[in-house]
A and B are shown apart, each in its own frame.
Chain A
């Protein structure tokens, strides 16, 4: 096995793929990167058995062969080589030699037989979607904040990709709040799949600036994200996601339009006083024109901020300030809608113009 490639390209690829190989895996070979060359195609692969990252590396010279090398060591060695030089990696038995100009080292590799085979998407049976990278990144970031890390409820530790009314939407909830974003209109194929949040985070981290589009393919129990030279294959969470659309209240009788920046500011102010009461703040719409955010901390004092807006019906709701801030930061437009009906039902936050993103937050017991 032999490859020759520029230091930048190799270093970037190794940095991307080695993240998941620096783990606490009991199986030592999972800390290695698999380098496979066949027909002048070079692929670098790592896996943690929940997901796998593949990088197809464009090289100038190559000889067929396959070997595994400790990923972290290789990545760090290459990243410290001078930029602009070519790097040559060759293997003989399990000795892997890395050469670049005056620098050279030999790393003990492991034969590839023990490296797990990476499951593959069945292209014929898969459902494929394509989406712009910026849109994808923004949308996942807007939704993933609401996902849970409670491992006793696996369904909530992922982001739910589902289609309805010919729209592909992604959603996540931790039981206290829920975020949904419609990401693609007019889709023809259907999908219902929970992608682990950790896998999606890896996808987000791995997307580089020069990529425009991402292709997402779903199989029965696998998902593959393909962008630029990289492919990330991940298991799906085999659980049923709550039927969340029913949880989004439809007819809210109290609806106010608010300036997002202003609401963020008053929420932060209220949050200062809400610390000792678990972040609980009171949002109140008062006819005809006041929206107030209040918090009371018995030891420190209290805070009451007001925003002028149009209010048609009065009402109030107790919310966790951190959840509200998360939601507000995920919204994009300068003006947002804040809708609720009574203390039992959640508050619904949306952009004023676009209806693609919906964030709901459960009220706290008053």
Chain B
């Protein structure tokens, strides 16, 4: 009896959770005229026209490519910067290390809008506006502190004696770090990459402001569907579905790591 109750509750929860996503999928498979005239739970006349338009029209699919490009760039930069930083925080004590660690975290407490104007001014001065690297670097402000924080937790779980033993065995630092240490914290790296990816993927404000055409993210492209004739619902829904896909894929790959990360208490 008890199990049944729980099952019912879970089913209800998932229905509520997945209803908007299903509705989006539903819309994405219908034409705009169909959406606006008839109400139906299942598309009566399913069409892939919306998806075809996105995959064939360069102004649409380049949005995805741009997003994927700067998100990947950002994840790589964040990890490259955060790995040595987290190692320093976990292994060495230096003057003000705890304050600095906290200061890093406070960067995440400010809303992105606070940094919008200075970033725009700064980036246009150095001519970085409308480049992928501009968006990737601006997202580092939020992702690097988070990455340092998560990685530091994982690194502190590795006994310091392993570092010393490697030096005794004759490893150089880079070699030790890459062949011994990184494999030990790969769970943490997976979790960190996931969070960096997710933040950068959904962040719209900075990405839209710092780009105009060449590096325009998909979320900005989606606002284009507003035209004089109204919204193109079907196209917008198809774009939305495609936006979910990369995130879902990443979650699928790191799902075990995430569970472990939660167990370790840092995520």
A, B: real partners: no
